Structure formats: structure tokens, C-alpha cells
Amino acid sequence: MDKTKLKRIGTALAPFLGLILLIALFAILTDGASIQLSNFKLLINQTFTLVLVCTGVFGVMTLGMMDLSCGTVVCICCFMVAKVCQVNIFVGLVTALLTGIGMGAFNGFTTSILKMPSFLATLCLQYIITGLMTQLIASAAVTVPAELYFFDEFWYKLPLVLVLLIGAYFLFRHTKLGHYMRMVGSNETAAIFSGINVRKIKMISYTMAGGLCAVSGFLVAIRSGTAAVTSGTDMMFNSMIALTLGGFPNGGGAKARFSAPIVGSFMFCVLNNGLSILGVSSTTQAFIKGAIFLFMVILMAENVKTAVSSGIKKIFGGKEKASEIN
Amino acid sequence: MADNSNVLARFENMYKYFGITHAVDGVTLEVTRGEIHGLVGENGSGKSTLLSLIAGIRRPDSGKMTVNGQDYAPHDNTQASQRGVSMIVQEINTLAGLTVAENIFLGQEHLFTKYGFRNIKKMNEMAREYLNKAGLDLIKPDEEISHYSLEQRKLIEMVKASYIKPELLMIDETSTALSHDGRDEMYKLMKDTRARNGSVLLISHDLQEIFQFCDRITIMRDGRVVDTVNAKDVDEDKLKALMVGRDVSGHYYREDYGTPISDKVVLRTKGLTCPGHFENIDLELHEGEILGLGGLSESGMHEIGRAIFGIEYDVTGDVIIGDKKVEGIQQTMHAGLGYVSKNRDVESLFAKASIADNINVTCMDKLSRGIYLSPRKMKKFADESTHTLSVKMRDVDQLVGELSGGNKQKVALTKWMARGTKIFVMDSPTRGIDVAVKAVIYDLLTKLKDQGCSMIVISEELLELIGVCDRILVTKDGRIVDEFLRSPDLSEETIVKSMI
């Protein structure tokens, strides 16, 4: 009994351990440059945009679905901030937020009402937005109004992100919605048979993901100062890598933990930051990230885990009673 | 080796582990020619795994198998069937998207292939011939297999298993998926095989079936063979005792008769119709009543259960609980009704979620204060709920997928009981469950009845219905055709007569 409890705690702590190891590794490789206080602040600053997208995608992926449009939703919201804020700041921010929420709701509509596979539906939206953005941003990138720059300050952004994350955590862990999300992810049919309104859950999850992408788009806009066709679009792949790094189970479901988006995006940024300090070129970085992603997906696969654990048992000749399971 | 000439197959010291589970733990079994050999045991005793090793579906970790005195180690079931060994598995084993004929001759395509081209016409003709032999005249060889019902597919599988004229035919818990006609077809197949001097290995939870057909019976428990006995030498009680390892009393149905039923109607349906499944169903369920729905699996009774819960499509007519008309799952649940599905793993349970998650999922409204849910309170609630049925588990954080069939069903029932459900619709509540857990479930039905809960029990097992129900409605071709009241004189034959 104690053994299984230990195993459970081990599984829960593994991502944190990975994070510490990663930080330690880069501290050694960069001769301590990566753990300077100033760098740490920079690191957290870099994490803000990713962790928001990650949290949104986390909700959707817990349902066993995908959101391939998140990067481009960040992009279009970033554009709205830059463009509409030139007219009126308040209107601009609201427009951006509504755009994000609207895009999310659209994903919810196509996947839950029209019952399109989420992979295809969100991929389509990604292409639609990319096309739209190429039209809108015709030639040069749009500049963000200077009045907004004041917000690009660590101590303003931190509370904003924290509030959103705590809110998301509360929803996920302490409300019906969060539990239903995990249950829908582990077996949709059984969820329907248990009286869960699966459509509603999907709709809410996608909408919230859209909203979080909008906030992330705002942060991208004020940080980079411009909105281009590529602004934030790398977020789609990065968020998936981050989630797997954070120990998110393949396919979502009941074992999804809220630590995954938080620890995962932080790990991702540590990796990014460390590689940059080491002077690794961006093409090599992409290669490394892809390899790590693949490795993590394989590691998280259920059958690999069983194979590895039974292999270990065979090597050490440990024998356990069958009755432990039955 | 003169005395061994009658041995068809011998399996020595078979081992198969799944991780830490010793599914088959040193089994030695001998099958003689011309016998029907029963294999019985509780859920998770390793019967199905053993057969899958013999059929080449899984590879044993160690062990020696001989068929006809020669070494036998199949890599897959095609190789097994070349050696005259074939198996009908418990689950549906046909491939959707292929035609009936393609399914029957799967792995045997070389019979019809010349210069790399497949002669589909010849294949269909041959399939036609075999189907006719099995009395399945209505099934078309060139039709896609998913157009047929589960039972028909099972029958097609039987054709597939039998056309090679197997020397060793293995049947894994198939009769539960079949109606009476289908079962007769299966029994005929078993007897034919025996008549050809072949042998049959039969897994069944239906002990009557075992006694009716088997010459010898092997009892398994925890992956090991407990004993092999001649069917003549034991009775049902003895067999049950061997299966569970302790004495089990012969009666596990309730024994009261003539208990009055309240006049209060808790649920009624009015003109409930679902095109293609059932028509104009009017039924009334009284408070504290156990109402049975019996019939052939195609008779529409399963769909009636689903329609009452609100999950069947295209349903017209009314379901009235108390005096309120309900529509859709949420309303039905809110009115106090719970549905236990026949398809436990897909529709009732979340295999990859913990026991606590599975139970709490229907009880969220009860557990939340405002919108706030306390994880600690949820765990405690689940913990207490599992005590009622004493689910065998490590703790409530264990995954449901790791439990045995019977314990899974206990969780599926607990999920609704914990919610305070007053009306249950249970579709085949003891499907694929061993005797010990069956007894627990029958006991539970009586207890729920005593607490004033009402139940609709849908089952193909007529003895079960006769044993537990206050009233039995018989469905046929989508209509309710007969009604029987609880009585000690009610026999299976009487009900069967009105079923067909």
C-alpha cells in the first residue's frame, strides 16, 4: 500500500524534479549565468505569454481534444490590440478579448455542435486566421501605440498572470467544471451516460482557451511593440512541448494535473533561455525541442511505462503477488 | 504411449504474466478426443488468457503445448487454425469495413488467390455455402459486416471458426451474446465437433450450460487449475464451492413470494416508440417493485431501457417519473433515475480514472457547496460509498480499469446508489460476472427494494428474472407481449413460449 502511495507521489513530483534538474544542468553549462537573479526575472517574464496559452490548451487537451489554432488566435488578438488601440485603448483591449473568446467559441461550435474532429476543426481555423492576417497586415507589421508600453513591466504583469492562473486552478480543481473536464477526457460516452452535458463542457473549455490566448496576445503585443503575421504563432507547438514536459498524459483524461502547464511552460522557457545563453542557433534549438518533444511523448505513453517497469522487475528478479491487482 | 492415444492436446506448465499479474500461473491441462471440456472459474481466474495462449492470440511466457502428439507453438491464430485449433472469443472479433465473406476467410485468402488476384466471386460462393450449412440463409456474403447485429456477427464468427472443421474448438463465454436460437446453433456446432471426434473447450459462467453439455470440467482459480472433474460426479453447489474456494449456498435469489406491491406508480411510459426498435410501450413501475424485462436480445428491450433514461434517438412518446414528464438524461437523472448499462466498460465506467472519480461523477451537485468542491470531502464520500458493496480494491485512488469484472460492476452500481437514486434501470446487471459477485448483486437488489427503490431489470437470463423480479414483462419484436407475476411455479419454458 505504501509502495503505491510512493509511486503516486513520485509521478506527481517527477515534473518538478525535471525542472530542478534542468535548471541545475543549465547553471553548470553556463557557469552560473542562467541562475543570476536578473536572468531569473527575465525568465519569468518570458514565461508569462506561454503559460497562459498553455493553461488554455491544457483545458482543451484534458478533454482529449486539440487546439492547433491557439498560436494564430494569439496572433490575431495581438493584431487587434495594435490596430484598434490606435483608435481607443479601452475599445481595443475589449475587442482583442472578444476576438479571442469568439475564436474559442467558434472552435467549440465546430467540435461540439458540428462534431468535427478537433484536430481538423482547429487546423482549419488556424489557416483561416493566417489567411486573414496576411490580408490585414498587407505589407509592414502594425506598430502598437506607445501608450500601452507602460504595462510591459514585470510587477504589473505578474499579478495579472497570477490571478488568471489561480482562477484557472480553482476552476479545474475545485468546481464541477474541472472534474467534468477530466471525466469527459477519460471516457466521453460514459460521461454522457453519467448525465454530463459534454457539449457545454467542450464549449466552455474552448472559449476559455480563446480568452487566455487573447490575454497572451495582449502581452505579446506590448512586449514586441508590433503585430506581425508570425507574432505568437510558435505558441501552438511550444505549448504542446511545454505540456508534455510538464507531465501531461497523452490523450488527457482523469490523470491530467494542473501542474503540467505551469511547470511545463517554465521548463520550456528555462530550456529556451539556457540554449540562447549558450549561443545555440535557433535552427539547432528547433531540432533539440522537437527531439525532446518526441522523447517525452514516448515516455508518457502507457505501454512504454509498463514495458519499462516490467523490464526493470525482470532484471532485478522482483516478484509480486498477482493478488495485489485483483 | 498407448494409453495416450486418445489425447488430442496437452498443455504443460503454461505461464503468462501481465506485469505483476500472474494471469496464467503454471497450468497443465489435457484435452482428450471427442469430449466437451468445460472451463469454469471466477472472473479473473485466467480462463480466457489460457485459451488465448492456445489460440495463438497471445504468446505464453513459458510452457509446452502439444497437439496430436506434436509440438505446437502458434505465432498467431492463422497458424493455430492450420493446426486445427480455432477459437470464438468473448468480444466481437469481426473487422468492420470488410464483407461477411472477407471476415470468414480472413487469413485464408490464399484459397481464392491466383497470380496475386483474389477471386471474390468464388469466395462469396463458398461463404454462401457455409452460411447455408449453419442455417444463416438471410446473411449475404457480400454485405458489409457492420450492417449486421452483434448477435449475427457472433454467428458469423462461429461459421468462421467451424468451416475449417477444427479438431480443437474453443468457445469463450459466447452464449451471453446470443439469443436462444443462436445458442442452439452454438450447441449444434459443439456437438458436431464432438461427433467428428474433435474436442471442445468451453468457457461459460452459465453453469447449467456447463452441466448440460460438458463431459469433463476443469476449475480454475487465481491462474491455477484447482481440479478437473467428471461432470457426472459433481453438482452445481460443489462446483461453485470449488470455483470460489469456499462453500456457497445453493440459493442466491430472493425467496419471498406473494409480498404485496405498493399501488403507487413511480414511473410510467406512454406510447413510447422508437422506429426500428420498439413501438407503443406502455409500462408502469410501482414503488419498491422489481420489474423484469425479458426477451430475445433483438426484441427491443435493451433500447426500451435506454429510451427511458433518455439516450436513445428518435424516441416519441412520454416517460413520466412521479407526475412529471422527463426528457433527456439530465432531467431523468434529476427526477431520481439511474441507468446501469449493459456495456459496462464503454458506457458506465471511466477505466482510466480512479474509483473515487467514477463514483463522484454523478454526485457533484450533492458534494459541492455553492460552486466549491473540496477534494478531501470527495475522497471521503467515495470511500464511504464503496463500503456498501465492499468493492475489492487497494483504495479509492485505484484505477477502475485494474478491477475485475465483478468489482467494476459494483463500482457502476455504487456510482448511482451514492447519488441517492430511487429508480434504477439495469441492463444485464450480471453480464459476465462470476457467481460470488452475482450473489452480492441479487442481494443488493433485494436490499434496494426494501429501501423503497424501484428497479427495471433487463436481462436475457430468464432464470435470473424469475428469481428476482416481482413482475416480468416479455418483449417480442418491439412490443410487450406478455406479463408474468412472481410465483414459485413460473418456469423458464412458459416464458420462452411467449418470447418466440
Q: Which residues of A touch B373 (CB under 8 A)?
A: 174-176, 179
Mean pLDDT along residues B21-50: 86
Residue A197 to residue B330, Cβ atoms within 8 A: yes
Residue B20 to residue A173, Cβ atoms within 8 A: no
> What is the three-state SS of chain B?
CHHHCCEEEEEEEEEEEECCEEEEEEEEEEEECCCEEEEEECCCCCHHHHHHHHCCCCCCCEEEEEECCEECCCCCHHHHHHCCEEEECCCCCCCCCCEHHHHHCCCCHHHHEECCEECHHHHHHHHHHHHHHCCCCCCCCCCEHHHCCHHHHHHHHHHHHHCCCCCEEEEECCHHHCCHHHHHHHHHHHHHHHHCCCEEEEECCCHHHHHHHCCEEEEEECCEEEEEEEHHHCCHHHHHHHHHCCCCCCCCCCCCCCCCCCCCEEEEEEEEEECCCEEEEEEEEECCCEEEEEECCCCCHHHHHHHHHCCCCCCEEEEEECCEEECHHHHHHHCCEEEECCCHHHHHCCCCCEHHHHHHCCCHHHHCECCECCHHHHHHHHHHHHHHCCCCCCCCCCEHHHCCHHHHHHHHHHHHHCCCCCEEEEECCCCCCCHHHHHHHHHHHHHHHHCCCEEEEEECCHHHHHHHCCEEEEEECCEEEEEEECCCCCCHHHHHHHHC
Q: What is the pLDDT of residue B146?
A: 82
The closest CB to that of B354, out of A187, A254, A309, belongs to A254
Distance from CA of A58 to the nearest CA of B (A): 18
The three cell numbers locating residue B98: 470488410
Q: Which residues of B touch A326 (CB under 8 A)?
A: 21, 44, 222, 392, 404
Q: What is the pLDDT of residue A326?
A: 29
Residue B375 to residue A174, Cβ atoms within 8 A: yes
* Tens-digit pLDDT profile for residues A52-82: 999 999 999 999 999 999 999 999 999 999 9
Q: Which residues of A touch B309 (CB under 8 A)?
A: 193
* A139/A313: higher pLDDT: A139
pLDDT at B269 over 80: yes
* Tens-digit pLDDT profile for residues A201-221: 999 999 999 999 999 999 999
* Tens-digit pLDDT profile for residues B180-219: 888 888 898 899 899 989 999 999 888 888 999 999 999 9
Indicate the pLDDT class of residue A323, thresholds 50, 70 and 90.
very low
The closest CB to that of B352, out of A192, A254, A325, belongs to A254
Q: Which residues of A touch B415 (CB under 8 A)?
A: 194
Q: What is the pLDDT of residue A309?
A: 62
pLDDT, averaged across chain B = 87
Indicate the pLDDT class of residue A319, thresholds 50, 70 and 90.
very low
Indicate the pLDDT class of residue B248, thresholds 50, 70 and 90.
low
Distance from CA of B413 to the nearest CA of A (A): 12
Residue B361 to residue A193, Cβ atoms within 8 A: no
By C-alpha distance, the chain B residue nearest A312 is B19
Q: What is the pLDDT of residue A201?
A: 96
Q: Which residues of A touch B25 (CB under 8 A)?
A: 322
Q: What is the pLDDT of residue B112?
A: 83
Contact residues of A toward B, CB < 8 A: 1, 4, 8, 173-176, 179-180, 182-183, 186-187, 189-197, 253-255, 306, 309-310, 313, 320-326
Domains of chain A as residue ranges with CATH: 15-301 (1.10.3470)
Q: Which of B361, B368, B437 to mutate to test the interface with A (most CBs of A within 10 A)?
A: B361
CA angle B479, B484, B486 (to 5 degrees): 145
Q: Which residues of B touch A323 (CB under 8 A)?
A: 222
**Percentage above 90 pLDDT, chain B:** 36
Q: What is the pLDDT of residue B319?
A: 94
Give the single-character DSSP code of A140.
Answer: S
Indicate the pLDDT class of residue B251, thresholds 50, 70 and 90.
low
Q: What is the pLDDT of residue B39?
A: 92
* Tens-digit pLDDT profile for residues B425-462: 999 998 877 777 888 889 899 999 999 999 999 998 88
pTM for the model:
0.77
* Tens-digit pLDDT profile for residues A87-138: 999 999 999 999 999 999 999 999 999 999 999 999 999 999 999 999 988 7
Q: What is the pLDDT of residue A99?
A: 96
Mean pLDDT along residues B224-239: 88
Domains of chain B as residue ranges with CATH: 2-97+144-244 (3.40.50.300), 265-499 (3.40.50.300)
By C-alpha distance, the chain B residue nearest A252 is B352
Indicate the pLDDT class of residue B1, thresholds 50, 70 and 90.
very low
pLDDT at A304 over 70: no
> Mean pLDDT lowest for which of A224-228, A302-306, B169-173?
A302-306
pLDDT at B61 over 50: yes
The closest CB to that of B350, out of A186, A310, A321, belongs to A186
By C-alpha distance, the chain A residue nearest B312 is A193
The closest CB to that of B330, out of A176, A191, A195, belongs to A195
Indicate the pLDDT class of residue A318, thresholds 50, 70 and 90.
very low
Q: Which of B16, B20, B411 to mutate to test the interface with A (most CBs of A within 10 A)?
A: B20
* B94/B487: higher pLDDT: B487
pLDDT at A45 over 60: yes
Q: What is the pLDDT of residue A15?
A: 85
Contact A52, A73 (CB under 8 A): no
Q: What is the pLDDT of residue B484?
A: 93
pLDDT at B3 over 50: no
* Tens-digit pLDDT profile for residues B376-419: 999 999 999 998 888 888 888 888 888 877 888 999 999 999 99
Q: Which of A63, A115, A186 to mutate to test the interface with B (most CBs of B within 10 A)?
A: A186
Indicate the pLDDT class of residue A2, thresholds 50, 70 and 90.
low
* Tens-digit pLDDT profile for residues A151-163: 888 899 999 999 9
ipTM of this complex prediction, to 2 decimal places: 0.84
* Tens-digit pLDDT profile for residues B100-126: 988 888 877 878 888 888 888 888 998
Distance from CA of B179 to the nearest CA of A (A): 26
Distance from CA of B376 to the nearest CA of A (A): 11
Indicate the pLDDT class of residue B479, thresholds 50, 70 and 90.
very high
Q: What is the pLDDT of residue B461?
A: 81
* Tens-digit pLDDT profile for residues B346-379: 899 998 899 999 999 999 888 888 889 898 999 9
* Tens-digit pLDDT profile for residues B122-153: 889 989 998 888 878 888 888 888 888 878 88
pLDDT at B469 over 90: yes
pLDDT, averaged across chain A = 88
Residue A186 to residue B330, Cβ atoms within 8 A: no
pLDDT at B483 over 90: yes
Residue A183 to residue B353, Cβ atoms within 8 A: yes
Chains A, B: CB pairs < 8 Å: 110
Q: Which residues of B touch A324 (CB under 8 A)?
A: 20, 394
Q: Which residues of A touch B21 (CB under 8 A)?
A: 322, 325-326
pLDDT at B94 over 90: no
**Percentage above 70 pLDDT, chain B:** 97
Q: What is the pLDDT of residue A305?
A: 61
Residue B222 to residue A196, Cβ atoms within 8 A: no
The closest CB to that of A187, out of B19, B351, B354, belongs to B351
Contact A23, A36 (CB under 8 A): no
Indicate the pLDDT class of residue A187, thresholds 50, 70 and 90.
very high
Q: What is the pLDDT of residue A324?
A: 33
Residue B25 to residue A322, Cβ atoms within 8 A: yes
Q: What is the pLDDT of residue A320?
A: 39
Q: Which residues of A touch B365 (CB under 8 A)?
A: 176
* Tens-digit pLDDT profile for residues B285-322: 999 999 999 988 778 899 999 999 998 878 999 999 98
Q: What is the pLDDT of residue A177?
A: 94
Residue B21 to residue A173, Cβ atoms within 8 A: no
* B423/B25: higher pLDDT: B423
Indicate the pLDDT class of residue B76, thresholds 50, 70 and 90.
confident
